[in-house]
Structure 1
């Protein structure tokens, strides 16, 4: 099997760090990047007595099959359940089966330990295994421990650096999408009908029972089913649910809408689960609901849609879910990721934006999500009219986190609405509202409009209003909104600097070690504001 360039780079990095004495290594690669291929090739090259640990039963056979394909000369066995084969060069085991047979496994004298889904490694069961088999000694030149994960962080705060010395290789979803090794994600965030603001946060995520109560309400079920029906009916989708009863409810609702759907969960018969997963993979059913058992270990490249009906604040968990549908497949152009619910700034939801980590995208994440609940409330209570244009409540937001048109210049939350005649995007703050409107029957570009209460001079109107291309319309709309809002909310900076400004300036001067070249007591509000901005920027640069 020909390895991809980044897979070769990873193997080289492992060897280089091993030469430096780093024998407890962590490799961070996105779901779908071929972690199994890499560690199979590593086993083939090293030819050491190896134990592979997987967190899910489904991963065991996948690993065995991949190893056989890459290195048919290497004998391997599965150690799990009734299959307790040992004595081969490679043993592939579930973590649960190893904890009950540590004394037996110690007799095998493994030299290479590979942990798949290594973000689980700080758990007690993994720590005990690592210690008992002798892989906790960083001075040992006879043993090598390598963990593979897509998410090197945990929701419970347990640190991976207790187990691993160093991340020896890391690549990102964004890089692999650009290189064509993963498909491009598209995102829809439905921020209506599912209010998560009162759901408590426990251990870095929503409290499960409270979240379940919200998600099994009639309104929430209807929102999820109708979104699938209208936005993803031509897709093959994996639906993540909060609980088993939630998974069953959604399956029944989808079947009622004549959408083929299966369900899998932890208590289901193993053979029935296998049949359902095969039916989904082969296209006999279009959707499959699951109560959080397909977050890891389920490889189905044909799946091109992830419906997150179990909203989360855990970035690691969210990336695991989304990764299920990013693998490439013939004629698969992209992956649609659908999220639900609105919350507040303090407890931000995880959405498709969290698949990418740069600063601009974090800004867009805030713009897309912070005021979802507030805007939904305002818009359902009061609809506004621009000429004969009627705008209803928010239905959904659609965004592409890799589109430079969107990520380069758009920093506000454009709300989208659509009917038979027109598509509308608009920004709103106070009495200010700016609209972009495209009429379907004309299809000649976008009109940039303003609400009648938004004060705009005739000179500005001439510059901004008219028919424009998509990119130009968004740029003009952003610029116009900034100008109108800036005029409406510009603070009064006349008069002497306030005591609060002066005290803050003194703190900033101490932090940045800047000596004042001016008399603080004679500063105006405007001058103080300017110096605060300047010193805050210097403090940020020092911190970086």
Structure 2
């Protein structure tokens, strides 16, 4: 490996991996008030936004990232930087009143030093650094005048709503359409709509974009696999269409007529087994009926709906998070602002023509979770004359034209690569997704540093994979001690499968080695000692963080400090080489 020249010398390994002045693994981080560290693509998204809006040419821009890739983390960091640079307020717009608390909680997880206010029915807390506002409240005519000059930056969460009249009126009141007014930055999983309202009338440019395939290839999302639940032929024929999509009441009646709740429950029991999931139905009546049908199959289920008592909803969602409920059915209220990484199965029992809505529904089950290898998407379908239904292919930004029944997105990419020899992106993407899949299915606990270096934590250090200088498909295996020192384990570059096997064998020799399935990783909340350690190295975490989650956060921070200074140099050298 000429690029790093790591030989048997322990001192040389320490210098190359860490470099002069690099913080030791036991050194303190940026302090207790420091924000959660960004992933590389999150940093790139912020840079793209700032480059676009500070140049004066663009005032309203959008960032498109799949659910699960940290949009809230990005705009929380963006808010913090904006406030520190300008000492002015930032306004964040959310779709509904009940989403405000979730946004505030996430912002505080990123940086608890930010003073965050709320504006919703009965509450106008404007004396804050960041003001999270419900469009339901501020778009009322009597309230719009209060928004003038409120903030120097406006952030729009789930900005695919932003072309609606209430949103446009709110943005106008905030000055986002006035020359010299505050920049507006929208965040969403998709900018597509079916109601005829062009988002181009609001946003001038998408300045940063990734889709679900990028998330899978980077190891940030799990790979979804689709299965069809075929009901009566002509299921959607003659169902009324309103605003470009199926009218929910008419669709609900049609699904009831063909006993869809009962058929879906049988299919869930057969195809999903004991996997936890969420079912999206068009109406409260169909969602409740589906819950009863699931219970009849021996599946513990519960229903969530819009007008449900908030305390009852909180208890139900907590029971689901605790594993007491296997399946949640809902009438389209869990499409946004609901995070449940343990959910593995998504039932699209609300067929839709809207790629935006489809992406929102499927996105609920794509977050990684211990023991979660992939996600299962069950689509209601029938032999129909309507060929405009959104499908798994809509998750790929048009890169895959079709995902076949039973096929995963990764398999669809591989098939595309085989069928179209000119699809270079498909070949590269298929390789990246296959690599991530290998790590996920391993019984060994593999983690990645902030810069993307795969490693196994052990009691004394980290066993890691290092890219070969000359062959992008080969990896060296190395070991790095937490306090410094280390050595190469492999005699040269190895194919990924062999490199992984050697790394796992090496890690298992360390008495402190712990498997992914270790019993302690299933235990409850983090200990006081863990939290003290996390604060000393500058980590932020939720008050109810689990022992497993905080352990992984600490480990990644320490490994990143040890490995990333050199790893980033390797990545940059490769980037320059590809461009040459």
TM-score by length of 2: 0.62
Distance of 1:125 and 1:103 partners within structure 2: 10
How far off its partner does 1:295 sit? 0.9
Q: Give 2:337's match in structure 1, choosing from 297, 321, 326.
A: 297
Q: Give 2:193's match in structure 1, choosing from 142, 151, 154.
A: 154
Task: Give the alignment of 1:55-204 within 5 angstroms.
Answer: 55-100=95-140, 102=143, 105-106=146-147, 109-137=150-178, 139-140=179-180, 143-193=182-232, 195-204=235-244
The 3-state SS of whatever aligns with 1:26 is strand
Distance of 1:132 and 1:288 partners within structure 2: 39
Residue in 1 that maps onto 2:69: 33
Q: For the structure 1 residues 120 and 67, does the alpha-carbon distance in structure 2 shift closer, same or farther, using more than 3 Å as the test?
A: same
2:301 equivalent to 1:254:
no
Distance of 2:353 and 2:191 partners within structure 1: 16
Residue in 2 that maps onto 1:269: 309
How far off its partner does 1:92 sit? 0.8
Task: Give the alignment of 1:347-426 within 5 angstroms.
Answer: 347-358=387-398, 361-362=400-401, 364-365=402-403, 368=404, 397-403=405-411, 404-409=413-418
The 3-state SS of whatever aligns with 2:237 is coil
Distance of 2:120 and 2:238 partners within structure 1: 42
Q: For the structure 1 residues 88 and 19, does the alpha-carbon distance in structure 2 shift closer, same or farther, using more than 3 Å as the test?
A: closer
Q: For the structure 1 residues 175 and 94, does the alpha-carbon distance in structure 2 shift closer, same or farther, using more than 3 Å as the test?
A: same
- Is the 8 Å Cα contact of residues 53 and 93 (structure 1) preserved in structure 2? yes
- Is the 8 Å Cα contact of residues 40 and 70 (structure 1) preserved in structure 2? yes
The 3-state SS of whatever aligns with 1:355 is helix
The 3-state SS of whatever aligns with 2:287 is helix
The 3-state SS of whatever aligns with 2:406 is strand
Question: How many residues are treated as equivalent by the alignment?
Answer: 377
Q: What are structure 2's unaligned runs of at least 5 residues?
A: 1-35, 421-580
2:42 equivalent to 1:7:
yes
How far off its partner does 1:279 sit? 1.1
Relative to structure 2, which stretch is displaced further, 19-28 or 268-277? 19-28
How far off its partner does 1:31 sit? 1.2
Distance of 1:53 and 1:70 partners within structure 2: 18
TM-score by length of 1: 0.66
2:321 equivalent to 1:285:
no
Q: Give 1:236's match in structure 2, choosing from 261, 276, 281.
A: 276
Which of structures 1 and 2 has the larger relative contact order (alpha carbons within 8 angstroms, sep 6+)? 2
Q: What are structure 1's unaligned runs of at least 5 residues?
A: 369-396, 412-544
Distance of 2:324 and 2:386 partners within structure 1: 42
Structure possessing the higher radius of gyration over alpha carbons: 1
- Is the 8 Å Cα contact of residues 56 and 296 (structure 1) preserved in structure 2? no
Distance of 1:204 and 1:343 partners within structure 2: 20
The 3-state SS of whatever aligns with 1:272 is helix
Write the deviation string for residues 126-159 of structure 1: whole angstroms up to 9, x where unpaired: 111111121112x31x522111111112110211
The 3-state SS of whatever aligns with 1:277 is helix
- Is the 8 Å Cα contact of residues 298 and 324 (structure 1) preserved in structure 2? yes
2:57 equivalent to 1:16:
no
How far off its partner does 1:91 sit? 1.1
Distance of 1:108 and 1:337 partners within structure 2: 45
- Is the 8 Å Cα contact of residues 102 and 132 (structure 1) preserved in structure 2? no
How far off its partner does 1:84 sit? 2.8
Q: For the structure 1 residues 352 and 71, does the alpha-carbon distance in structure 2 shift closer, same or farther, using more than 3 Å as the test?
A: same
Distance of 1:281 and 1:82 partners within structure 2: 30
Residue in 2 that maps onto 1:223: 263
